Amino acid sequence: MMDINNLNAKFSIPGHLSLIELDNQIISLNITNNFADAQISLYGAQIISYTPKNEVDILWLSPNSYFTEGKAIRGGVPVCFPWFGPHPSDQSKPQHGFGRISNWELAETRLTSKDEIEVKLRLQSSPATKSYWPFDFLAEMTFLIGKTLTITLKVTNQSDLPFEYSCALHNYLRVKEIKDCAILGLQDCLYQEDSEKIMHTQKEAKLTINQEVDRNYSNTAGYYSLVDPNHNRTIRIHKTGSLITTVWNPGSQKSQSLKDMPDDGYKNFVCIEAVNALLNTIKLAPGEAHETSTKLELED
């Protein structure tokens, strides 16, 4: 890992972006502009805070989250790669892949002409990644911090053989009280509960959450809205390059079993994720690339 002084010398943007060290030598980018403040961890290529001016943070970060190598950061927007959920054939391998427990290289920072901040991180195949997954690849994460937050995962096959992967941008969206919120845009969509193979159809115009939910909606594109009356706001979630939308909240019982989450943590977030998995994994020929992107914004 590069020395933080060298990183600041190369990548800081005076008045807008600096690098600091968090717990256990994890390095974070602190970002500010006219639109928002944000924080991105190089470990996991994970944005852990995005706060529009005069607003409460859109993202939820567990106060009990681990900031130590080998463990995922609970909250923000973890990147799941190169598999989503448990490994399909070896459950001893890390849940949701190795992307969120890897140190990513800082490749570029810049201030755009619109006063947005763009950050690019990358992870390339190495002996460490090949101990989990045998392919040569380049994964690039791009964050655009402005009035909206756009996150893009681009994966390029640098192998001589085709490969298949699954992924997710696993956002934790902050709410005041989950039972009072509603998710719009999923009416008439087909979904599976967790790992069930049975397909259901959501009849309701509004999805409300008062217990554990883990739904994978198929053939979904476009945008969805999270209405949070107690914060007096609606978060709009756009996505591209993804046909699966996962909605997850652990509910009371599972929240109590998660050591890196408060017992009542489930009350304060919901995940509405851009996913490529199940019947919609990504297959890349040598040299091919695919982008999965999500954009978060507050409705005016």
DSSP the chain: ---HHHHHHHH-BTTTEEEEE-GGG-EEEEEE-SSEEEEEETBTTEEEEEEETTS--SB-B-TT---STTS---BSBPEEBS-SSS-SS-TTSPTTBSGGGSBPEEEEEEE-TTS-EEEEEEEE--HHHHTT----EEEEEEEEESSSEEEEEEEEE-SSS-EEE-EEE---EE-S-GGG-EEES-TT-EEEETT----EE---SEE--SS-EEEEESS--EEEEEEETTTTEEEEEEEES--EEEEEE-HHHHHHH-TTS-TTGGGGEEEEEEEE-TT--EEE-TT-EEEEEEEEEE--
Whether 101 is covered by a domain: the verdict is yes
Work out the average pLDDT over 184-210. 93
Closest by CA to 208, choosing from 230, 231, 188, 228, is 228
Whether 197 is covered by a domain: the verdict is no
Whether 193 is covered by a domain: the verdict is no
Closest by CA to 18, choosing from 103, 102, 119, is 119
Which residues does the annotation mark as catalytic? 170, 273
Q: What is the rounded radius of gyration, in angstroms, for the C-alpha atoms of the chain? A: 18
182-184 and 117-124 as β-strands: parallel, antiparallel, unpaired? unpaired
Whether pLDDT at 1 is above 60: no
CB 151 within 8 A of CB 276: no
What percent of the chain has a predicted confidence (pLDDT) above 90?
Answer: 93
- The torsion angles phi and psi of 178, rounded to 5 degrees, stand at -60, -35
If one counts the domains in the chain, the total is 1
Whether pLDDT at 98 is above 90: yes
Which has more confidence, 279 or 45? Answer: 45
Whether 53 is covered by a domain: the verdict is yes
Whether 94 is covered by a domain: the verdict is yes
| CATH assignment at residue 287 | 2.70.98.10
Q: How confident is the model at residue 197 (pLDDT cuts 50, 70, 90)?
A: confident
Whether pLDDT at 30 is above 80: yes
What percent of the chain has a predicted confidence (pLDDT) above 70?
Answer: 99
Whether 110 is covered by a domain: the verdict is yes
Whether 228 is covered by a domain: the verdict is no
Whether 294 is covered by a domain: the verdict is yes
Q: Which of 72-81, 141-150, 213-222 has the lowest mean pLDDT?
A: 213-222
Q: Which domain holds residue 217?
A: 4-175+212-223+237-298
Reported as a single tens digit per residue, the pLDDT across 161-190 is 999 999 999 999 999 999 999 999 999 999
